[in-house]
A and B are shown apart, each in its own frame.
Chain A
Amino acid sequence: MSEHRPNKTVAAVSEGPTATDEFIKGLWRDNPVFVQVLGMCPTLAVSNTAGNALAMGLATAFVLLMSNILVSALRNFIPRQVRIASYILIIATFVTMVDYAIQAISVDLHKSLGAFISLIVVNCLILSRAEAFAAKNNVGKSMLDALGMGLGFTLGLFSLGAIREILGSGSLLGFALLPANFQPWIVMILPAGGFFTLAFLLLGINAWQHRPKNTTP
């Protein structure tokens, strides 16, 4: 989708991104869920309720932050040929930690997220940030990049989860939100609902980006 806004990206590069830019870009301009469409598997699978989505987003953000810091700190010591394998090992270590931590905090949450906590290892978002950003930048910048991307991912996941939970069960984070006579759209909490919700969100963003320029004030 990046081909729609080439001018913006070029401008940002030529000015040299500031620290704030590194943080902000993950939230909206390069949002991992809506713009880069990375890490789709957990995005779709765990967003059936807002609470699950939030927990998953935060767990991913933590792993992203820690692995970005470590990869960036070790970037001059890792030989190029084995870099991907090293990144995956680093990521797998932190994911194992998160897995045990969530199990200790809440067994129920661990059950409802299931195997998807372990599957954070293969979230393309984390590996792509390690390879595309942390391996080339210093620790501070990588940290800001990870924070921005992690929060952007959480934001995307949460909005998806909130829409699906409100329409699918008439509640948000477990609290009833819609009147009792509301007929829940069962399809929204089924797998198909995940595909549809994300499709319509992307559609909306697409339409907004392609809006006729002269009508906006």
Chain B
Amino acid sequence: MKEESLWYIFINASLINNFVLAYFLGICPFLGVSGKMETATKMGGAVTFVMLISSMCAYGIHALLVVLEAPYLQLISFIVVIAATVQLVEMFIKKMSLALFRALGIFLPLITTNCAILAVALFQTNKGYGFIESFVYALGAGAGFTLALVLMAGLREELELAAVPSVVKGTALTLLIAGILSLSFMGFAGLGS
């Protein structure tokens, strides 16, 4: 297998193996916060930020746990770091913009339980990425998550105006669109190889 270039890692994480549409990670916020374009963009930004910080911390923690020979602590320490980062972002957003804080609502603390973030930390460790590679990987994953969220929000804003049978409305419709988006993202499969 050839050495993965940074550019390939980015494209891989954001398009080819999009975290939402190919790995099914971070589905809860994807279904929950994708109703409005503005909230979707900000949510994507917040998630990307938490991903970057936690990915850097995860790299350090992994190195430390290897030295300590305590791999069984990996999961627990990762989740603690993520929870702490989310708390930080929450305070930051509350100070910066109260309106945004209200719009994100319950989904802000729930970033802690966004599987995409923990998955970035776990995948980069499994793949044995270095510090720079991990950073790019997290950036790509965040970009991919934001892209999926924004695409979905755009589609759902349009669908508000469409005549949809009442039985299909809600989660079922969102899942159908997600399926079609997922199909179209498969078109990226050959990219970069």
Question: A residues bordering B, Cβ < 8 Å?
Answer: 1, 37-38, 40-42, 44-45, 84-85, 88-89, 92-93, 95-96, 99-100, 115, 118-119, 121-124, 127, 187, 190-196, 198-200, 202-203, 206-207, 210
- A92-B27 contact, Cβ under 8 Å, with A196-B179, A210-B166: no
Q: In chain B between 109 and 132, which residues have their CB closer than 8 angstroms to a CB of chain A?
A: 109-110, 112-115, 118-119, 122-123, 126
Q: Could you tell me the distance between the alpha carbons of A47 and B112 in the complex, rounded to whole angstroms? A: 24
Q: Enumerate chain B residues within 8 angstroms of A194, measured Cβ to Cβ.
A: 24, 179
Shortest beta-carbon distance from A97 to chain B in Å: 9
Let me know if B79 is at the binding interface, CB within 8 A.
yes
Say whether B176 contacts A191, CB under 8 Å.
no
Q: Are B76 and A195 neighbours in the complex by a CB distance under 8 Å?
A: no
Size bracket, chain B contacts: 35 or more
Give CA–CA (A41, B27) in the complex, Å.
6
A92 and B79 within 8 A (CB): yes
Q: In the A-B complex, list the 10 residue pairs whose CB atoms are closest, starting with the nearest.
A: A195-B179, A199-B175, A45-B24, A40-B27, A192-B182, A202-B172, A44-B24, A196-B179, A122-B113, A192-B183
A93 / chain B contacts, CB cutoff of 8 Å: 76
A79→B116 CA distance, assembly (Å): 29
What residues make up the interface of B, taking CB atoms closer than 8 Å to A? 21-28, 31, 72, 75-76, 79-80, 83, 109-110, 112-115, 118-119, 122-123, 126, 166-168, 170-173, 175-176, 178-180, 182-183, 186
Identify A206's interface contact among B109, B167, B176, CB under 8 A: B167
Measured CB to CB, the nearest residue on chain B to A100 is B72
- A187 CA to B182 CA, complexed, in Å: 11
Distance A124 CA – B118 CA, assembled complex (angstroms): 13
Q: List 17 A-B contacts (CB under 8 A).
A: A37-B31, A37-B171, A40-B24, A41-B24, A45-B25, A100-B72, A119-B122, A121-B79, A122-B118, A124-B28, A190-B183, A191-B24, A192-B179, A196-B179, A199-B173, A199-B179, A202-B175
CB distance from A185 to the nearest CB of B (A): 13
Cα separation A84 to B108 with both chains bound (whole Å): 14
Q: Kindly list chain B residues whose C-beta atoms are within 8 Å of the C-beta of A192.
A: 179-180, 182-183, 186
Contact A40 B118 (CB under 8 A): no
List chain B residues, Cβ under 8 A from A96.
72, 75-76
CA gap between A119 and B1 in the complex, in Å: 28
Are A85 and B72 in contact (CB-based, < 8 A)?
Answer: no
Given A40-B28, A45-B24, A195 and B118 touching (CB < 8 A)? no
B172 and A121 within 8 A (CB) = no
Distance A210 CA – B172 CA, assembled complex (angstroms): 14
Which residues in A have their C-beta under 8 angstroms from that of B115? Answer: 41, 119, 122-123
Partner of A191, one of B21, B112, B126, B175: B21
Cα–Cα, bound, A202→B167 (Å): 9
Inter-chain contacts of A1 with B (CB < 8 A): 170-171
Q: Evaluate whether A40 and B31 lie within 8 angstroms (CB atoms) in the complex, with A199-B176, A203-B167 already known.
A: yes
Contact of B25 (CB < 8 Å), options: A41, A127, A199: A41
Query: What is the bound-complex CA distance between A208 and B72, given in angstroms?
Result: 46
